[in-house]
A and B are shown apart, each in its own frame.
Chain A
């Protein structure tokens, strides 16, 4: 080596500085938003002392309570539905021989990722409005259906990835020992698949919980979720109460994502064994 040992061949001038800048920029606005949720005053940007009063206000706000419960109900049902559906689809798509219509099926499953949300939103608005008038039913079912649909690709991806990395000899062995296909699935495939299912469900849950555009267009009377409620507040009532609600939602998402991170790391470690 002609170069002295201290020369780091991987180094590019300024890259570390830009990276540091990025990390700061990614977190600074969120951190400031969280800080101001503890502001005792009304202002969003001038600090008037520490207080939990906005959390108390939000906690006692009946509209916020109702929106939170609604968000959780929708996200839970949509997660269960989309995960179930995605696992079934992944069992077919994740491995095995290619079949006619396979790539069309991939396109179908990934469609919610490719079509802009606003386009999906207005198309659902048009169709659901018609269905609502025809059937007379205008409950949460529409939101749940819409959420289930756009959560499918998020639940699908980790399951499929898990299936592709899975050793098939175990299932083969089970079949050789005359296990029925259901037994094989329950005793062998599913336990191996479980971490992927869990990861997919988490992604689906966060995706549903965060949705604002599609919900805003599909919701009927009194069906605000936490994000659509916040959207309204953001445009009208700017108080630190919005910061407080945002912070709670933020903490929840972060906990789920970090959990997802460890679940999938576990996956990874096991797959390498």
Chain B
């Protein structure tokens, strides 16, 4: 008995990250981190990697801000990066000076949210659009009206991913507004639209790859890679790019200011800018990655996938999602509260 207690106590002490030499704690979106790439990193650098999931940008921010989280790497969306930087939560790791930075696609090398890439490196980029089960609805799906004024076939079968900024961006453009507008008449229209649409939604949840594929929901606001993965399970699922405007986002890996394993975290940032490794991320989560030259390592079906290749006639409807001012965010939050009824 004494031995048991002693050994359990020993294990407990060792389990704390205080003794963690050669560890890396990644905090990333659920279902977003390829296990094979992690394995490769672990073997190459002899580091034990732990991946913890989160659902939303806000949850990640809340958890890290609360403190004592123990994470080294986080992967926020571009629009959240300025907030993370402003709050002093990120380490200025200067990935722009790292060896593999040369591989970053020029398009993504100097984004608004992190000028010169002093903090973050590209993880993946994608679009916000709609997924529809074609068995249930056969009409045009390149429109946000699938979500906001749904056809009868889809009423009560729609999921909205509750990522507030994505939903707001879609809705603002649907009613004809500009990104991050502070025009109150537009925002009022947005509120009325969403409040009226909500009874048609069956759920507001993250992580719907399986739910879509298995028929728990028939349509929904979705991210393109997630929709792609559902289609791989159930070929009836198609992805639409809303002609009224669809947001384009990028998620970015960054090191946390209070990371315990900064060296390993830097190795990791450099590692994912290697085209072959970036291709592994895309092959798993099914989004584009922002690393030039990764194409040739990608699976064949990525190159032709309708979810990843924006049709030319709809390309102009795409817009970069931006960080809105705190005032606009406050109104977004208030509108969002009305959707919780």
The residues of A with any CB-CB pair to B shorter than 8 Å are 43-44, 70, 73, 76-77, 80, 125-126, 128-133, 137-141, 144, 220-222, 224, 232, 235-238
B30–A77 touching, CB < 8 Å: no
Whole-angstrom CA separation of A15 from B210 in the bound complex: 41
B16–A236 touching, CB < 8 Å: no
Is B58 close to A, CB under 8 A?
no
Q: Which residues of A contact B25 (CB under 8 A)?
A: 221-222
**Which residue of A132, A140, A232 contacts B53 across the interface (Cβ within 8 Å)?**
A232
Is B31 close to A, CB under 8 A?
yes
Interface centre among A133, A138, A224 (most CB of B within 10 A): A138
Of B62-70, B98-106, B235-243, B277-285, the stretch lying at the interface with chain A is B62-70
Is B8 close to A, CB under 8 A?
yes
B31–A237 touching, CB < 8 Å: yes
Q: How many residues of B contact A (CB 8 A)?
A: 32
**Which residue of B27, B31, B52 contacts A224 across the interface (Cβ within 8 Å)?**
B52
Q: Which residues of A contact B9 (CB under 8 A)?
A: 77
Known: A139-B16, A221-B27, A222-B25. 13 other contacts (CB 8 A): A43-B214, A70-B15, A73-B11, A73-B12, A77-B9, A130-B67, A133-B67, A137-B16, A139-B13, A221-B69, A221-B71, A221-B72, A224-B52
**Which residue of A76, A133, A141, A222 contacts B50 across the interface (Cβ within 8 Å)?**
A222
Is B207 close to A, CB under 8 A?
yes
A141–B12 touching, CB < 8 Å: yes
A235–B70 touching, CB < 8 Å: no
Q: Which residues of B contact A73 (CB under 8 A)?
A: 8, 11-12, 15
> How far apart are B101's CB and chain A's nearest CB, in angstroms?
27
Q: Which residues of A contact B5 (CB under 8 A)?
A: 80
**Which residue of A43, A141, A221, A236 contacts B70 across the interface (Cβ within 8 Å)?**
A221
Whole-angstrom CA separation of A222 from B206 in the bound complex: 21
8 tightest Cβ-Cβ pairs between the two chains A and B: A132-B68, A139-B16, A222-B50, A221-B70, A133-B67, A129-B66, A221-B25, A236-B207
Given contacts A137-B18, A232-B53, A235-B205, contact A77 B70 (CB under 8 A): no
Interface centre among A77, A138, A140, A222 (most CB of B within 10 A): A222
Minimum CB distance partner of B15 in chain A: A140
Is B209 close to A, CB under 8 A?
yes
> How far apart are A219's CB and chain B's nearest CB, in angstroms?
8
12 contacts between A and B (CB under 8 A): A44-B214, A73-B12, A77-B8, A129-B66, A133-B68, A138-B68, A139-B17, A140-B12, A220-B70, A221-B25, A221-B72, A222-B70
Q: Which residues of A contact B27 (CB under 8 A)?
A: 221
A138–B16 touching, CB < 8 Å: yes
Q: Which residues of B contact A140 (CB under 8 A)?
A: 12, 15-16
Whole-angstrom CA separation of A138 from B12 in the bound complex: 12
Interface centre among B12, B27, B52, B205 (most CB of A within 10 A): B12
B67–A144 touching, CB < 8 Å: no
Interface centre among A128, A131, A139 (most CB of B within 10 A): A139
Q: Which residues of A contact B205 (CB under 8 A)?
A: 235
Q: Which residues of A contact B30 (CB under 8 A)?
A: 232, 235-236
